[in-house]
Amino acid sequence: MFTRDSFKGYLMNLFEAASYPFETWRGTIGLVLVTVAIYVLLIVSTMPGFSLQMLGDGLHWFEYVVVSLTETVYRTDGWTGLGIIVLYALLSGVAVVNAAAQLRFIGLSSLTDLSGVVPGLLASGCASCGAGLLGFLGFAGGLAALPYDGALLRIGGLVLLVFFLGRTGHPERCAIAAEGTK
């Protein structure tokens, strides 16, 4: 169970993890690039058949695909659906930048913290159909059979992302060692 001090420490770790990419230009640029790449991947995965057909005809359709699918998500579920995708992309971007920093500072053993990104990437996507990247893997029908069309799975993925970011904290400091010294 959380005590007041442990919850306060968790929130401080979460704030440090979320603000780490903005400490340097390199981190900020990395965050923007990773976030945009994940957003595009999530948007394109909302309608895999449409995306593959259009992009199979040529990459000159790329802008049209991204804009039309963004509009489709907005028209289907409004700001909530689009917000979920943007939040997934942003939190996944923060997690990837922090994991890269941990890899650089701590070494290969820190890659387990990257596992917080996977649920968000797999479970997100179109807020109305629940496909996400699982649609590319052939699991869209299974997600559609879930209660609320898989919305609980997407919320669970967001909770996991926030949990892992708050657990790891600032990539250059060991949050576990700080807790053990109290």
Q: What is the pLDDT along the chain (182 residues), one digit of tens a residue?
A: 456 678 888 888 889 888 899 999 998 999 999 999 989 988 888 788 888 889 888 889 999 999 999 998 888 878 887 888 888 889 888 888 888 887 777 766 555 555 544 554 444 444 434 444 455 555 555 555 555 555 666 677 788 888 888 887 887 775 454 444 44
Q: Output the pLDDT for position 140.
A: 54
Residue 131: predicted pLDDT: 45
Residue 35 has what pLDDT?
93
Nearest-angstrom CA–CA distance, 156 and 162: 10
pTM above 0.85, yes or no: no
